[in-house]
Amino acid sequence: MTLQQLNRTPTSVEEIYREMKAKLHDIVPDVELRIKAELAYEIHQLKKERNAVILGHNYMEPALYHSIPDFVGDSLQLSRLAAETDKDVIVFCGVEFMAETAKILNPTKTVLIPSDKAGCSLASSITAEDVRALKARFPGVPVVTYVNTYADVKAESDICCTSSNAAAVVNSLDSDTVIFIPDEYLARNVAQETGKRIIFPSRLPNPDAIQPGSFDIIGWHGRCEVHEQFTIEDIHSVRQQFPDVVILAHPECSPEVVAASDFSGSTSAMIRFVRETQAPRFLLLTECSMGDNIAAELPDMEMLRLCSVRCPHMNQITMEETRDALRYLRYQIEVPEDIRVRALAAVERMLAIG
Ligand code: 13P
Ligand code: SF4
């Protein structure tokens, strides 16, 4: 049983080291494990003193992922957990939009992100002003907003979605046409899954010439700087070398890459799929730390990785920064109340969908 499952404070550095070593001996050098076990011990002590909970996204680096979070998961799971916690402090080992969602759900709690540089290329691709302009162009059309956005963008939206419920959220709306922002590829993948036609007004030479009724999803041009790097050539080349490989792609990948893969789903859906599927080897087309995290859990399965692809924003979250977050109660997430209340409505509508 892991420390996470035991949900207790470890009694010594040695205990943490042994547990990390058992899982990560093939993945993290021993000298690094020794240092990180000490850090993890310190973090567990501080977590207890602060009455804090640590949430860790699936993209956290393996030593952090396997030692300090109370819970790990994808964006939707972590949002649900953030909504339920009774702790005073939430430390979010993920990126800023995720910590902001936790604050939206928990205005009276202290929500910390260990680095103030953990952004996201999708979140920075759209502003609240952009959303207001879209709504003015398409009055009455509901706005579905991927959680990978900042609070002021969520506040302009009708409902949020994550990669694990995007199609269900679109289908839940009583409207043939929806505005779906800001991820171009996720929007294209949702259009395919729901049988809808898609258009990108910001790409048209004359956006005013759009005929109402000739499209169903109005998209935006944001891209994940990690997932847009995977290509169909990557897939062909790996399938040529390993014909029995099972390929999984995150829905932030292009529709061509998703179509050429065997499975597409959120980060946790991919982990579940690997756990439940008998295959000799897998290729994960997603952030590369996740491959290490699954490989540590399932050592009998071979994880092929195109491992240059690390999210620079997730990479800002280190164990040193997490310790300092708890020590100095930094970096505190704040969301202006008028924005928070409107963003909360969009997040809660999403959470109400099963
Ligand atoms: P998940 O919701 O699938 O965890 O994805 C979050 C993310 O940022 C993927 O790049
Ligand atoms: Fe944003 Fe892509 Fe990094 Fe996820 S992997 S946090 S979508 S930049």
Helical (H) or strand (E) element with 349: helix 337-352
Q: Pairing between strand 217-218 and 263-264?
A: unpaired
Same fold, 4-118+314-328 and 227-303: yes
Q: What is the pLDDT of residues 233-254, one digit of tens each?
A: 999 999 999 999 999 999 999 9
8: confidence class by pLDDT, cuts 50, 70, 90: low
Residue 208 reports pLDDT greater than 80: no
- Ligand closest to 250 (CA) is 1
- Ligand closest to 160 (CA) is 1
- Domain map (residue ranges) of the chain: 4-118+314-328, 123-224, 227-303
For the structural domain made of 123-224, what CATH number should be given? 3.40.50.10800
- Ligand closest to 122 (CA) is 2
State which of 60, 121, 124 you would mutate to test the pocket of ligand 2, scoring each by most atoms of that ligand within 8 A of its C-beta.
121
Q: What is the pLDDT of residues 105-129, one digit of tens each?
A: 999 999 999 999 999 999 999 999 9
For the structural domain made of 4-118+314-328, what CATH number should be given? 3.40.50.10800
> What local confidence, expressed as pLDDT, does residue 212 receive?
64
State which of 78, 120, 183, 184 you would mutate to test the pocket of ligand 2, scoring each by most atoms of that ligand within 8 A of its C-beta.
120
Q: What is the pLDDT of residues 66-76, one digit of tens each?
A: 999 999 999 98
Residue 7 reports pLDDT greater than 60: no
Residues 78/84/87/89 CA torsion (nearest 10 deg):
40
Q: What are phi and psi of 182, to 5 degrees?
A: -105, 5
39: confidence class by pLDDT, cuts 50, 70, 90: very high
> What local confidence, expressed as pLDDT, does residue 333 receive?
98
Q: What is the pLDDT of residues 288-304, one digit of tens each?
A: 899 899 989 888 888 88
Ligand 1, atom nearest to 120 Cα: 8
Ligand 2, atom nearest to 252 Cα: 7
Superfamily of domain 227-303: NadA-like (3.40.50.10800)
> What local confidence, expressed as pLDDT, does residue 6 receive?
40
Query: Cα of 267 to ligand 1 centre, how many Å?
Result: 6
Quote the CA–CA distance of 80 and 254 in Å, as a whole number.
Answer: 28
Q: Taking residues 9-37, what's their average pLDDT?
A: 94
Task: Give pTM, 2 decimals.
Answer: 0.94
Query: Cα of 265 to ligand 1 centre, how many Å?
Result: 10
